[in-house]
Amino acid sequence: MKFGHFSDTAREYVITTPRTPLPWINYLGSEAFFSLVSHTAGGYSFYKDAKLRRITRYRYNNVPADSNGRYYYIKDGDTVWNPGWQPTQTELDSYECRHGLGYSIITGKKNSLTAKLELFVPVGDNCEIDRLVLTNESDAPKSFTVFSYLEFCLWNAVDDSTNFQRNFSTGEVEVEGSTIYHKTEYRERRNHYALFTVNTPIDGFDTSRDAFLGAWRSNANPEVVENGRCTNSVAHGWAPVGVHQVNVTLQPGKSRSLIFVLGYIENPEDEKWAAPGVINKTRAQAMAARYATDAQVDAALARLHDHWNNLLSTYSVKSSDEKLDRMVNTWNQYQCMVTFNMSRSASYYESGTGRGMGFRDSCQDLLGFVHLIPARARERILDIAATQFPDGSAYHQYQPLTKKGNMDIGSGFNDDPLWLIAAVYAYLGETGDYSILDEPVDFDNDHSLAQPLLEHLRRSFGYLRTHKGPHGLPLIGRADWNDCLNLNCFSKEPGESFQTTGPSEGPVAESVFIAGMYVKYGNQFAEILDSTGHTDEAAAVRAEVAEMEHTVLTAGWDGKWFRRAYDAFGHVIGGEECEEGKIFIEPQGMCVMAGIGVDTGEAVTALQSVKDKLDTKYGIVLLQPAYTKYHLELGEISSYPPGYKENAGIFCHNNPWVSCAETVVGHGDRAFEIYKKTCPAYIEDISEIHRTEPYVYSQMVAGRDAATFGEAKNSWLTGTAAWTFVDVSQYILGIQPTLAGLKIDPCIPHEMDGFTLRRVWRGATYEIVVENPDHLEKGVKAMTVDGKPVSGNILSPVPAGSTVEVKVVMG
């Protein structure tokens, strides 16, 4: 069952009923000012940090779902309605929400009045524009009243939702003309305020929530709207809100637009005040003036469209499969960009108040994003690397505002250092910018310890080389990629962190998954060393890698699949001898991606075991059999009910690893089958089961052990986006940026005739045609460049601005 459809030409998902299974959202903004907007205009805005600079108030896990946002009420006679249905839920004569790239358009119609609400954050500005276009579609004049409504957050989202004994006394506003200024705490240490304005004289305003809603009422039935007139209330404490009243009369067939701007302003210390107690509004007025006319808004929208079209032109495919094309060309890349911007901070499942940026998360997100804006990837790499410890280990998380490592969680996630190599290799492959390796980068944010980035990579690899367990496998520390596999922690008390309660070092638990990474990213490190003239060191690294490969195929091999780990007592995790958790997905994908057992047969055997034991119609589950009880020696993984999350859920992030791995052994059919199972466009038809947005990936789909098999959760902010894009763009379609050049090595379903693809790489545009006349799954038998046959399948860089015609014939 569907609740909308894709519009590939407009690059929009069009939702045709407000009654979706869950709120289906979009992200506005891509630099500093961000808004989350649901298909019913719910959501909130923030500046840079969703915890510390929350601009509007949102209530997670509320009833009804998604019950705060930027709302526009229309009182037309006795009927009160919203173009987005919420919060009045007045039935509409027609409804549509179009989520596009950085904008959303929500259109409602009631009693021959159409209200079209366009929402976006302009490129390069710190505000959200809400343009409401009202059209009288009847054949008589219409008079009605529009009320805007949003609720200000008192900036710090955590304090705002807990410290009422203070906060109910601090709220302050100013109103001047059509602009409402939210200035809570500006009188003391804040240098910022918010404004909410509209480009027309207003017929009234309210800034006190109590005055607008009325006692014991909600935003579903505000008293002011019912009465048809604002009270011009000025908030003193309690809950400041922004409400404008605009009375409108429209002749038949006529339209009027109202442009609302929600903005964030910072003032320098010496420019804070216009008069004692009166804020300096100069910058706010200038912002309002930038969006005072439809022409200005149209121009800003055009800039936004250009911005996204430019970004996404870096990689685009044309195949016979429209679902593949729309995911690759639009939605997967779009989600990669959002994930990179947000890390795991603010979604409808991440409250935006917790942890900062993840070391591992950001490195992985970068794999899916580096081709879009390499300069931001460069910056992020240097930020991340600066939180690394001198011994090569790393803070697991860091704060985006301070860029300092997060001491609460600390270090000891032993996969982290290797992800830095992965990120840097991806950046080098994309850009060829070796200068990044010479950048001096702090250790532990201590500038006196700064070393070139290459030295950071050396210590990353070195940390793992010097932290091995009894079987010669890497020590797992607090956890590896699977944060819930806590082999050195033995937590018995509720509320304790599963990750940080135990020691990060000491016990001997080992990870086969990290061993796979060690081989894969060790080889990438060697390649970087070779490319920078460190040939001897490269050889030494490769020797280390070869030794680890052997260890994986002995201590890490269970007979039919790769083991997952050894626990603190030396017992096997993820082996036939285990009662529960006999086989895990992660090492199968990673070890085969690393090339382990490809020549000797274990790779194919392992992937067959995945298919036999872990595959389901909705994706590959993380492990089998699910843990039915809490295992003290395993930690959080066994804390989930069977079939959910890491306990045998379909944890989407690791599915592309297996898909990638299948391409490594040449199984294009199977790789694509796996790709499709979790790919939003291919499962749009089961939205009533899947429930989350059908245009982006979710973190998790309930596994076959769960009562709600197939139900997805935690959409948008997941490493799935990046890894799936790596899978489909590099492993399946096979366009691989490497240090040596752009490698073309498709591994596709045999029935596919081929595809054409445009790839902008190092400033040049490659127009690539792949033909598959023999209907193979893998293999390149011939390649021409600008019509000339070349040997091999690697394209060397050409001058920026060039266009290169590439023809590839599989065989």
CB of 604 to its own copies, least distance (A): 34
Binding to its own copies in span 334-393, by CB under 8 A = 348-351, 353-354
Question: CB 572: neighbour CB atoms within 10 A?
Answer: 19
Cα 607 from Cα 403, distance rounded (Å): 40
The contact pattern for its own copies, residues 652-671, with x = CB under 8 A and - = no contact, is: --------------------
Alpha carbons 807 and 733: distance in angstroms, whole number = 14
- Rounded to the nearest whole angstrom, what is the least distance from the CB of residue 164 to its own copies in the complex? 5
> Considering only 16-24, 244-252, 519-527, 664-672, which stretch makes contact with its own copies by CB under 8 A?
16-24
Site map 537..576 versus its own copies, x via CB under 8 A: ----------------------------------------
Nearer to its own copies, 270 or 493 (CB): 493
β-pairing, 278-279 vs 315-318, is unpaired
**Secondary structure of 118-159 as H, E, C letters:** EEECCCCCCEEEEEEEEEECCCCCEEEEEEEEEEEEEECHHH
Nearer to its own copies (CB atom), residue 387 or residue 699? 699
Nearer to its own copies, 197 or 219 (CB): 219
Tokens encoding 230? 């604002």
Return the range that interacts with its own copies (CB under 8 A); candidates 113-121, 433-441, 638-646, 679-687: 638-646
Site string for its own copies, 730-769 (x = CB under 8 A): ----------------------------------------
Q: Which is nearer to its own copies, 9 or 61 (CB)?
A: 61
| Contact region with its own copies (CB under 8 A), list: 62-70, 380-388, 451-459, 747-755 | 62-70
The answer to whether residues 529 and 541 touch, using CB atoms and an 8 Å cutoff, is yes
Applying CB under 8 A, which of residues 5, 10, 62, 278 lies at the interface with its own copies?
A: 62
Residues 6+ apart with CB under 8 A from 187: 172, 277
Instruction: Report 426-485 residues binding its own copies (CB under 8 A).
Output: none
Q: What are phi and psi of 119, to 5 degrees?
A: -125, 130
- Please select the residue that binds its own copies; options are 139, 375, 407, 492, rule is CB under 8 A: 492
Which helix (DSSP H) or strand (DSSP E) does residue 678 occupy? Answer: helix 668-678
| Least separation in angstroms between CB 348 and its own copies | 8
Residue 630's contacts (CB-CB under 8 Å, 6 or more residues apart) are 638, 639
Interaction of residue 270 with its own copies, rule CB under 8 A: no
Q: Which residues partner with 144 through β-bridges?
A: 248
**Lookup result for tokens 């030494």:** 540
Find where tokens 């001047």 sit.
Answer: 176
# residues near its own copies by CB under 8 A: 74
Strand order in the sheet with 127-136: 4-7, 12-15, 94-99, 103-110, 113-120, 127-136, 255-266, 192-198, 179-182, 173-176
Of residues 706-735, which lie at the interface with its own copies (CB under 8 A)?
706-708, 713-714
* Kind and range of the H or E run holding 785: strand 780-785
Residue type, 244: H
Q: Report the nearest approach of its own copies to the CB of residue 195 (Å).
A: 18
Using CB under 8 A as the criterion, what x/- string covers residues 156-195 for binding its own copies? x--x-xxxxxx-xxx-x------------x-xxxx-----
Comparison of 144 and 348: residue with beta carbon closer to its own copies: 348
Span of 106-114, 426-434, 492-500, 752-760 interacting with its own copies by CB under 8 A: 492-500
- Interaction pattern, residues 67-106, with its own copies; x per rule: CB under 8 A: x------------------x--x-----------------
User: Do residues 638 and 571 make contact, with C-beta atoms less than 8 angstroms apart?
Assistant: no
> Which member of 9, 63, 407, 599 binds its own copies (CB under 8 A)?
63
Nearer to its own copies, 67 or 126 (CB): 67
Q: How far apart are CA 228 and CA 225, in angstroms?
A: 5
Structure tokens at 422: 């992965």
Select from 63-71, 405-413, 595-603, 673-681 the region that touches its own copies (CB under 8 A).
63-71
C-beta closer to its own copies: residue 187 or 447: 187
Check residue 48 for interaction with its own copies (CB under 8 A).
Answer: no
User: Is the distance from CB of 369 to CB of 340 less than 8 angstroms?
Assistant: yes
Cβ-based neighbour number of residue 349 at 10 Å: 19
Q: How far is the CB of 69 from its own copies (least distance, A)?
A: 13
**Cβ pair 146, 74 in contact under 8 A:** yes
Quick one: which of 48, 60, 111, 790 contacts its own copies (CB under 8 A)?
Answer: 60
Nearest CA among 712, 560, 593, 568 for reference residue 661: 593
Give the one residue of 1, 5, 7, 64 binding its own copies; rule: CB under 8 A. 64
Q: In the window 676-705, what residues touch its own copies (CB under 8 A)?
A: 699-700
The distance in angstroms from the start CA to the end CA of the chain is: 40
CB atoms inside a 10 Å sphere around CB 501: 17
- Yes or no: say if 486 and 635 are a contact pair by the CB < 8 Å rule: yes
Q: Pick the closest to residue 103 from 362, 286, 306, 365 (CA basis).
A: 306
- Binding window for its own copies (CB under 8 A); candidates: 138-146, 472-480, 554-562, 639-647: 639-647
When the beta carbons of 350 and 527 are compared against its own copies, the nearer one is 350
Handedness of CA 232, 236, 238, 242 (dihedral sign): positive
Beta carbon nearer to its own copies, 67 or 482: 67
Which of 24, 155, 260, 425 touches its own copies by CB under 8 A?
A: 155
Touching its own copies, residues 205-244 (CB under 8 A): 209, 213, 215-219, 234, 236-237, 239
**C-alpha to C-alpha distance for 607 and 610, rounded to whole angstroms:** 5
| Spatial separation of the C-alpha atoms in residues 101 and 313, rounded to whole Å | 13
By beta-carbon proximity to its own copies, the closer residue of 42 and 587 is 42
Contact with its own copies (CB under 8 A) among 139, 270, 493, 536: 493
Determine the Cα–Cα distance for residues 513 and 476; give it in Å rounded to an integer: 9
Q: Does 496 bind its own copies (CB under 8 A)?
A: yes
DSSP 641: P
CA 209 remoteness from chain centre: 33
Active-site residue, selected from the candidate residues 321, 361, 483, 615 = 483
Q: How far apart are CB 426 and its own copies at their closest, in Å?
A: 26
The CA-atom distances, in angstroms, between 292 and each of 197, 199, 282, 298, 795 are: 10, 5, 15, 11, 50
Pick from 634, 622, 621: nearest CA to 566: 634
Site for its own copies in 272-291 (CB under 8 A): 276-277
Considering the complex, what minimum distance in angstroms separates the CB of residue 744 from its own copies? 38
Judged by CB, which is closer to its own copies: 102, or 240? 240
Which among 616, 623, 668, 672 is positioned nearest to 645, based on CA atoms?
A: 623
CB of 8 to its own copies, least distance (A): 29
Residue 348 or 657: which CB sits closer to its own copies?
Answer: 348
**Min CB(714)–its own copies separation in Å:** 5
Neighbours of 775 (CB within 10 A): 13
Q: Assess contact for 761 and 774: CB atoms under 8 A.
A: no
User: 242 vs 737, which CB is nearer to its own copies?
Assistant: 242
Contact code string over 393-432 relative to its own copies, x by CB under 8 A = ----------------------------------------
Active-site residue flag, 483: yes
- CA–CA dist 744, 214 (Å, integer): 65
Contacts to its own copies from residues 569-628, by CB under 8 A: 628
Active site residues: 483
